[in-house]
Structure 1
Amino acid sequence: MTTMERLNAIFCEVFDDDDLEIAPEMTAADVDGWDSLSHINLIVAVESAFKIRFNQRELLTFKNVGDLLHSIESKIG
């Protein structure tokens, strides 16, 4: 399973939508229910699943799903 596929599964779980298909250019505006609370839940789920941690500066630089994916991949090698 690719990192993108794993990330998509996390999105499906956090947003309770099995049909959700993420893409690198997607932003919070593209996903129903993506608000500040679900964003925290998403980040916690990603950190747990990939066994990584984001610092606050990193979190502030994420503009879309692609930025999140790139950061995950850089941390897991």
Structure 2
Amino acid sequence: MNNMEKLKQLLTDVFLLEPEEFSFDLKRSDIDSWDSLGTVAMAVGVQESFGHHMKPEEAVAIASVQDIVRYLEAKGVSFNE
């Protein structure tokens, strides 16, 4: 599984999305379950799936799937697979 697939799987699981509902263009405001608990679950999932601990202030600054991708790319995770 490549990193794009891994991130899609993580976010569909965390935010209880059907695979066809997922898009890399989604924003927090598009996902009803992306609340404070969803943010914590996303941060934990990022650590478990990609091995990068997200600080609380980093997690609350994330407002879109693209923000997560940029965060992970800054940590050295490649999405150009």
> So what's the TM-score if we normalise by structure 1?
0.76
Task: Give the alignment's Cα RMSD to 1 decimal.
Answer: 2.0
Alignment match, 1:46 = 46
1:60 offset after TM fit, Å?
4.2
Task: Name the counterpart of 1:10.
Answer: 10
CA–CA distance in structure 2, aligned partners of residues 27 and 41 of structure 1 = 16
CA offsets per residue over residues 14-67 of structure 1, 9 Å max, x none? 1223323131x3211111322111111111111111111122343344232111
- Structure 2: segments with no counterpart, 5+ residues: none
**Which aligned pairs between 1:1-77 and structure 2 lie closer than 5 A?**
1-19=1-19, 20-23=21-24, 25-77=25-77
Show structure 1 runs of 5+ residues with no match.
none
TM-score normalized by the length of structure 2: 0.73
1:2 Cα deviation after fit:
3.2
Give the whole-Å Cα distance in 1 for the aligned partners of 2:23 and 2:68: 12
Query: How many residue pairs were aligned?
Result: 76
Whole-angstrom distance in 1 between the partners of 2:36 and 2:56: 15
Deviates more, 1:11-20 or 1:26-35: 11-20
Give the share of equivalent positions with the same residue, in percent: 26
